[in-house]
Amino acid sequence: MYKNSCMCLHSLTFKCHLSLQHSKAMKATLRYLAGMAGPSGFGSNSTAEQVTEDCSSFLPSAALTALITGASSGIGAETARVLAKRGVRVVIAARDLKKATEVKKNIQKETPKAEVILLEIDLGSFGSVQRFCSEFLALELPLNILINNAGMFSQNLEFSEDKIEMTFATNYLGHFLLTEILIDKMIETAEKTCIQGRIINVSSVIHSWEKKDGFRFNDILSGKKYNGTRAYAQSKLANILHAKEIAKQLKARNARVTINAVHPGIVKTGIIRAHKGLITDSLFFIASKLLKTTSQVCKQTHSVQNLQLS
């Protein structure tokens, strides 16, 4: 009887715990949708400019250097604009240099003294990533911030020049190789400047779609079973697992560099526009009444950066 009572008490405690967790999650969701400020003083309606408004008071006198992939449009371009406005040297790693040049012009029109460097990279190609890293390291610049932002979505099965499924190659493997090559430069910069470095992997809440089944490469590589959304979800889960593993390695090395994976929110960037169709367009139209602008979305990235600078 005593044993049964203990089991019932344990079951009741567990159910209460789940109920409490569910309640907290609901409250957090409602606060997010309402744009209510959190402990940091910022909410989901805050913009990147608002988050970084006071950062000039604690930024070091020597310019920080931030490398951003996919900064020729969308979240990456807005991140580059705001960082440049705050005095950070920005390196835009882009596949389309024509679009990147337009971003640079717009940044320098707003902030004439901004230092913006353009370098070409195709994250779907190991060779291109290696060439990019060689070109960047040859500049002998410090590297304080690495933002792995670029991403793609494909409704059709495509392969990279290295014969790897294109979404996984671009969203994960390219950034993995980029980080692997540049991480020593980041650690070196942090040691020399005594400023903690920051790596940010831009992931997505859609990664949770893959938690139950895990990675299913065989299905993805089958033309008949290919699902673009699942391929995208797997690549974003990989971004998070990558961040967890790198965090362990950095801690083991006692490095003054940290890494975070962030879900920036949902905004109609190029990736969303790739999901063409009546259902997707209808869902986005409904959801957009609650969702965020690009400037609001990219504030997540800046919030993470500010943790290390303040």
Crossing angle (nearest 10°) for helices 228-252 and 174-193: 30
Number of other residues whose CB lies within 10 A of the CB of residue 21: 10
Domain count across the chain: 1
Q: CA of 104: how far to CAs of 122, 246, 296, 297, in Å?
A: 19, 31, 21, 20
Q: Is residue 33 part of a domain?
A: no
Cα distance between the two ends of the chain: 57
Task: Give pLDDT, residue 280.
Answer: 52
**Could you give the CA distance from residue 263 to residue 205 in angstroms, rounded to a whole number?**
6
Residue 256 lies in a domain: yes
156 in a structural domain: yes
pLDDT in tens, the chain (310 residues): 545 555 554 555 545 554 555 565 556 555 555 556 666 666 666 666 766 666 655 565 468 999 999 999 988 999 999 999 999 999 999 999 999 999 999 999 999 999 999 999 999 999 999 999 999 999 999 999 999 999 888 888 899 999 899 999 999 999 999 999 999 999 999 999 999 999 999 876 665 556 655 666 666 666 667 888 888 888 888 898 999 999 999 999 999 999 998 877 655 555 544 555 554 555 445 455 455 554 544 544 554 454 444 3
Residue 89 lies in a domain: yes
Q: Is the residue at 52 inside a domain?
A: no
In a domain, 276, yes or no: no
Per-residue pLDDT at 265: 61
CATH code of the domain containing 188: 3.40.50.720
Contact at 8 Å (CB) between 155 and 274?
yes
Structural tokens at position 266: 């949902």
The residue range of the domain holding 121 is: 59-267+294-309
Retrieve residue 220's tokens: 């993805």
User: Can you give the pLDDT at residue 5?
Assistant: 53
* Residues recognised as catalytic: 226
* pLDDT of the residue at 228: 82
> Could you tell me which residues come within 8 angstroms of residue 105 by beta carbon, excluding any fewer than 6 positions away?
none
> Does residue 127 form part of some domain?
yes
pLDDT the model gives residue 220 = 65
Residue 22 lies in a domain: no
Which residue do the tokens 């990736």 mark? Answer: 271
Closest Cα partner for 302 from 114, 59, 106?
59
The pLDDT, as a whole number, for residue 106 is 97
**φ, ψ for residue 16, nearest 5 deg:** -65, -40
